[in-house]
Amino acid sequence: MEFRLIDRIRERTAQAREDVRLGIGDDAALLVVPPGQELAVAIDTLVEGVHFPVGTAPADIGWKALAVNLSDLAAMGAAPAWALLALTLPHADPARVDGLAEGFAQLAREHGVALVGGDTTRGPFCLSVAVHGFVPQGQALTRAGACVGDAVFVTGTLGDAAGGLRLVQGERPFDPADDAHRSLRARLDRPVPRVRAGLALRGLAHACIDVSDGLLADLGHLCAASGVGVEVDCGALPLSAALCAVFGEADAREFALSGGDDYELCFTVPPARIAAVQAALADHGCRATRIGRVVEEQGVSLAGIGPVPHRRGWDHFPG
């Protein structure tokens, strides 16, 4: 049965690439890194009840498992190429596997990602995806390049996924006929990785990170790596109309600061390059909002309105 499940995944995720010499079906894949490119590698594990609610549609889980990893490549300015998938199931479930593979494949096809191997095993439902991408030598974006005086930007809107999770948890009754409710749930279930934005930021941004654990938490990582601080203007945070309509502006702002699961890009750019960055992102249909500035005093501080949220972001092992 295990090998039949693997065949189902392979059939639904087939993606031809010339740099894949040998893919699924052997003990290891054989892959070719193009000359002049560095290999960027990332891995994330998604656990049922932690990273996605129990009862989430398998296709949405498959999409999200790849999306959160592509977001890591986007933050490095890397072009996606290959993926590995390790799937753990409590029992053989062809229908669930088909759904997972289809959601995964939908996003993989969009970005030309080839699934080149993985593993299946029995246990509590979870899945791990490792992705590999290319970036020209010396051009990778990192968390460590922010400079005092840089402007801080974030793509898209923040807090929507946290709002979607609150609906799933029953904080507000979920109404499937309500456009705002559906929009927030979609941001939770099917985040859109900013791959093209990450590529556009190469050579323009000083530092970059994807917002996965919450803006405050992830900006804290960027500050620590760069040895600087960031002052965030709370009044400038990009909030969606859907989030404000369902939860109100105060809660929406708190979700934006500490909610997590947004998978937007937060980056710093010198003032002289702001116009170039905005033009480059606009070419890819991506909105970016200036939310603060890089300062000397280390850490993240807030300016504008409202108290500092007690919870600054997601932590698997708090305390």
Condensed to tens digits (0 to 9), the pLDDT of residues 186-232 reads 999 999 999 999 999 999 999 999 999 999 999 999 999 999 999 99
* Residue 170 pLDDT grade (very low, low, confident, very high; cuts 50, 70, 90): confident
Residues 167 and 89 in one domain: no
Residues 249 and 159 in one domain: yes
Domain contains 289: yes
CATH number of the CATH domain containing 294: 3.90.650.10
Q: How confident is the prediction for the chain on average, in pLDDT?
A: 90
- pLDDT at position 309 is 52
The domain boundary, picked from 111, 136, 161, lies at: 136
Residues 22 and 48 in one domain: yes
pTM score over 0.85: yes
The domain boundary, picked from 136, 167, 189, lies at: 136
* Residue 174 pLDDT grade (very low, low, confident, very high; cuts 50, 70, 90): confident
The domain boundary, picked from 136, 165, 182, lies at: 136
Residues 180 and 221 in one domain: yes
User: How many CB atoms lie under 10 A from the CB of residue 149?
Assistant: 14
* Residue 9 pLDDT grade (very low, low, confident, very high; cuts 50, 70, 90): low
CATH number of the CATH domain containing 65: 3.30.1330.10
296-309 pLDDT tens trace: 999 999 986 544 55
Domain contains 309: no
- pLDDT at position 247 is 96
Residues 113 and 224 in one domain: no
Domain contains 202: yes
Residues 76 and 182 in one domain: no
Residues 8 and 131 in one domain: yes
Residues 132 and 231 in one domain: no
- pLDDT at position 318 is 45
The pLDDT of residue 125 is above 90:
no
The pLDDT of residue 72 is above 80:
yes
- pLDDT at position 307 is 45
The pLDDT of residue 81 is above 70:
yes
The pLDDT of residue 1 is above 80:
no
Domain contains 247: yes
260-305 pLDDT tens trace: 899 999 999 999 999 999 999 999 999 999 999 999 999 999 986 5
Residues 125 and 204 in one domain: no
Domain contains 167: yes
Residues 155 and 273 in one domain: yes
Domain contains 146: no
Domain contains 211: yes
Residues 41 and 159 in one domain: no
Domain contains 248: yes
- pLDDT at position 55 is 83
In total, how many domains does the chain have? Answer: 2
Write out the residue range of the structural domain in which residue 269 sits. 151-303
15-32 pLDDT tens trace: 668 888 888 878 898 999
* Residue 54 pLDDT grade (very low, low, confident, very high; cuts 50, 70, 90): confident
Residues 130 and 159 in one domain: no
